Structure formats: structure tokens, C-alpha cells
Amino acid sequence: MDCPVDERRAMRSRTQTHVSFSEVNWGTLKSLLPYLTEFRTRVALAMLCLVAAKVASVGLPFILKHVVDGLDANGADAIITLPLGLLVAYGAVRFSNVLFGELRDTLFGRVTERAMRRLGLKVFEHLHSLDLDYHLGRQTGGISRDIERGTAGISFLMRFMVFNIGPTLLEIALVMGLLWWNYHLGFALIVGIAVVLYIGFSVFATEWRTHFVREMNQAESQSSSRAVDSLLNFETVKYFNNEAEEARLYDNGLAQWELARRKNRLSLFALNGGQALIIAIAMTAALVLAASDVIAGEMTLGDFVLINAFMMQVFMPLNFLGFVYREMKGAMANIEKLFGLLDVQPKVVDRVDASQLQPGQGRIEFDNVRFQYHPERPILKGISLTVEPRQKVAIVGSSGAGKSTLFKLLFRFYDVTDGAIRIDGQDLRDVTQASLRRAIGVVPQDTVLFNTSILENVRYGRVSATEDEVWEAIRLAHLDAFIHALPDGIHTQVGERGLKLSGGEKQRVAIARALLKRPPIMVFDEATSSLDSQSEKSILLALKEVAAEQTTLVIAHRLSTIVDADRIVVLDQGQIVEQGTHQQLLSLGGHYARLWALQQQSRG
């Protein structure tokens, strides 16, 4: 047996979701020390309760010995002659053992919960600080499980390392000393040899079965990531009628998990069987030796009961120690993976002396900007462009020309490879990312909403906005008629990623959100692509009114939406090939004129 059945049940929810075992870095423990020292008084009181519980635990067998000897000596009159205080003392000490243990757990619970909260928040904030490149390659389901397992691992490790490993070894040493002092070396040797064999076997077997546990957890993470990815792309699955294919891929992952779990279960059987054999042999040897001494008259019946109680008392926590060691290794691996997320460094970071962006009139300069995701594939090849305050400048071009990349550089999702981007004369690399992004409003083409109400999604543009300000932004985005027609109105839930709304409705929510922010610079990435002609015309008028007070950059695919732009910049293969007004570019008969002719033909 690896641990008492009830303990197994109590811990099952925390131990079935550990990450893959690896070579555990025990230095990870140092990272947890600040969370222990934050509540020094609580930790000290918990330790005192621990000592009191152990003293009570060691004293129980001696009281039991005197009770048994009293019963054996006095026979039928024992109930009269046996001091009642001895029986009361036994009950009081047993209750004290449990009470001090519960007090210990209660006191230390606050320490554990605060550590889980603080570290969970730290990881969450760190993930939001990472660059776009990291998030494009992440597996959301896997990261979610890593955070969940890591925080659960902290709870397990902090409680059981502090209150089980050390105290159990201390209790074993005390019992060995008491047996040797009160009886003879034989009992101490039996306990000592059994403990060494048990620990040695547990460590060896745990290391052996690490491979199977790693396989099981890896298969579990992969199947979980696959399921989350499939459900997030529910519409795509439906579009291509691939439900059966998704189920097949998910079942393949579950089949790998089933096989790995079977191997893990069989290896656990071998571990538990070996541990049970060592305990059984040691218990039998101790009781045979004690029985021999009782028959020889060297020990009383009470001594025999005391030996039996001590052996059970030693091997029950030792039994649990095997379980704790195995799970502690798993918890360490979980925590190490959690700290591994914190070790991921963003590629775009603020300089130590970065200042706050001081927004002026909203002048944007792209000065010989070059950028490449990979050295062998340059995207932007020396873009020089100035957007004057309150101008509306549109950027057009075929797919892959670099339009969206230019916006990502402006928002500083990436840093330029060469050249510079300035807002009101301030290089973006010299200011903090937070202050830069406060100055830019964005309406993306692919609008993803939070699974909350329309009110909260619009208010996300400026969380301090009043409801009246939210309604004004909704009116400008021509979303008010739609909202009034809903049963729950502005409090209607939009569903995960906004899937309960149509594409046009989501886009108008995004426009309202950006209008509520009212920054000096606005970027529209084909902001009306999902709207009907009438709604598009109305919103373009509203945007024109708002744009009069802001510098506006429009990434356009539909050229009909930007004919009123102050300047249109045409990109081709990462370079500016043309720029001017709509009429000027048509008269040139170049790239823009050809794009315009193609779109007019397709509309006709």
C-alpha cells in the first residue's frame, strides 16, 4: 500500500493532473521561500502545532500499554481498579493529536492559498507581457493545464514537504530511540532496516516508473490541447464537415493516453506491492520478537501492544511517505514548468530608461523602416512615410504586401529590424509599450469579443467610461437599433469569442469600443468588411466625423471605403510604389488603377 485509502481519495483530485516528470530541479524550492516568509507568525504557530501533534502521537502507545497492563493484572475487577484518569488521558491525547493537526493545517492554509494566488497572478501578467510571436505559437489548452497543475503543485508541495517529510523522519527517529531505550536494539534495528529498504525501494521504483507517468501526462496534455483547439474552431469544423475527422484525431490522443495510463497503473501496482511486502515482513518480525519476549517473561502484554502500536505508528506515516515522495516529485515538475513560463522572455521589451509617450497632434513617421520575420524573407524594404496630424491615410496593396505588418510595428507587437517609427517625434523604442498603446485605437478586421455582455465588450475600450458614454459610442457605431431589438438589450451575452453575433454586429461592437477610447491615433483594418452597404455608408460618415479630430490610418482591402482619404499609399512586395489621392492614382494608370478596375469588375 502506498498510502491510506482515505488519504488517496482526499488527494485524488490534486494528483491526477500532474505534468510530465523530468529531471526535477530542486532549486525550484528557493523560488517558494518568499511565499513562506510572508506569513512568518502563521508558519511558526503551525510548526508549534506540528510538534504538539507529534508529541501526542508518540505518547499514545505508552498510555495504551498501561491500560492493557492494568486490565491484564486486575482481571474482572479491572474496570473498578483501573484509574479512570488513564482512560480519560488516552482519549484526551488522541483528540489532541487530531486537534493540533487540524489547527496546523488551518494556520498554514492561508500561506498556501496566498502563494497560489500570487504566483497564479504573476504568471497571468507575465503571459500578457509576452510578444505576439509567442502567442501565435502557443497552445492555449496546454498552457492552461500547466498553470492549473503548477498552482495545485504549490499547494501540495508546501503542505506536504513542510508537514510530512521532515516530521515523519523525526517521528521514526524518536520511535527507534524509544524502542532501543525501553526494550532492546532488535526492535530499533527492525524499524531502521525496514525504513531504509522502504525508502530505497520507493525511490528506485518511482524513478523507474517516471517514464510511464511522463507518457501519460504528455498524452493527456496533447488530447486536451487538441480538444480546446477543435472547440475554439467550431465553425471551421462545421464549414468543412470534419466532425468525424476531429473525433478521430481526439480519439487517437485518448488511445495514447489510455495505453500510457495502463502502463502507469501496472507500474504503480508493482510499487505498492513491493512497499506492502517490506512493511508486512517488518511488522511480522517485530511482533514475533515481541511475542517471544512476552513468552519468556521479559515483556508484559501491555509491552506487546505498545510494540504493535509503535510499529503501526511508524509504518502508517512511512507508508504515506512513499505516496508523498512520488507526488512531491510530480508537484516539483509541475512547479518547474510553471516557473518555466516565467522564464520565457518577451522579444519586445521596454528600455530601462523608457519614458511615457507624450501624445501631441498625432504625427506618425515611418523612417526607412525595414522588417523581417526570418532573415531569408524580408517583409518591409525601406518604408518612408509621414502621416500628418488629423490626416486620413489609407494603405492598400495585394495580400502579402506588408500592410498588416506595418500596423503591427506601429503598435509595437514587433520592433523594426532597421530604421525607426516615431509618433510626435518620439521613437517608439524609447517609450513604454503601455503609454504607446494608450495613444492608439484599433478596429481589427477579425473581431474577437469576450464572453460577457455587449455593454462590457464596448466598455472594454475605456473601462472607466460611464454608461452614457458607452451609449454615445454605440450610437456612433450605428449599433443602437440592433441593441434595442434584443430581449436583454445592452446586457445581452455575446458568447465565446462573440459567436452569438453576426460578423457585422461584432464589427460594430469593435468600432464602438474603439470610438469610446478616443485616442489621438486610430487604425482601421478594413473596419467595415462585414457590413451591408447601407450600414457601411452610415458608419463611414460617423468615422469621417470622428476622424476629423484624430490621425487616422486605414488598412484597406475594399478601395471604395477609402476614396475620401487625404492620401492613399500603395504597397507592393514591401515597398511603396505609389501614393496620392484617389483621383491622382487613377490618373497614373498604375497598381492602384489596376486594383480599382478589378474591384469594380467584381462588383459589377
364-439+519-603: CATH superfamily: P-loop containing nucleotide triphosphate hydrolases (3.40.50.300)
**Structure confidence at residue 1 (pLDDT):** 42
CATH of 5-343, one of 1.10.10.10, 1.10.1040.10, 1.20.1560.10, 3.10.20.30: 1.20.1560.10
Using CB atoms within 10 Å of the CB of residue 478, give its burial: 0 to 12 exposed, 13 to 18 middle, 19+ buried.
buried
Nearest Cα to Cα of residue 198 among 322, 56, 347, 40: 322
Whether 568 shows a pLDDT value over 80: the answer reads yes
pLDDT band at 559 (very low <50, low <70, confident <90, very high): confident
Q: What is the mean pLDDT of residues 197-204?
A: 84
Mean pLDDT estimate for the chain: 77
Dihedral sign computed on CA atoms, order 468, 474, 477, 483: negative
Whether 240 shows a pLDDT value over 80: the answer reads no
For residues 138 and 205, give the distance between their C-alpha atoms in angstroms, rounded to a whole number.
34
CA atoms within 13 A on the CB side of 422: 16
Span between the terminal Cα atoms of the chain, in Å: 79
Q: What is the mean pLDDT of residues 164-181?
A: 73
Instruction: Tell me the CA distances in angstroms from 26 to 14, 16, 23, 381, one per residue in order.
Output: 21, 22, 9, 49
So where are the chain's domains? 5-343, 364-439+519-603, 450-508
422 beta partners:
365, 427
For residues 541 and 539, give the distance between their C-alpha atoms in angstroms, rounded to a whole number.
5
Nearest Cα to Cα of residue 444 among 501, 510, 495: 510
CB 57 within 8 A of CB 312: no
CB 554 within 8 A of CB 393: yes
Over residues 108-166, the pLDDT tens digits come to 777 777 777 777 788 788 787 776 666 666 666 567 777 777 777 777 777 676 666 66
**Structure confidence at residue 411 (pLDDT):** 87
Over residues 385-441, the pLDDT tens digits come to 999 998 889 999 887 788 888 888 998 888 999 999 999 999 999 999 889 988 888
**Structure confidence at residue 15 (pLDDT):** 35
CA atoms within 13 A on the CB side of 272: 14
pLDDT band at 535 (very low <50, low <70, confident <90, very high): low
Q: What is the mean pLDDT of residues 272-277?
A: 85
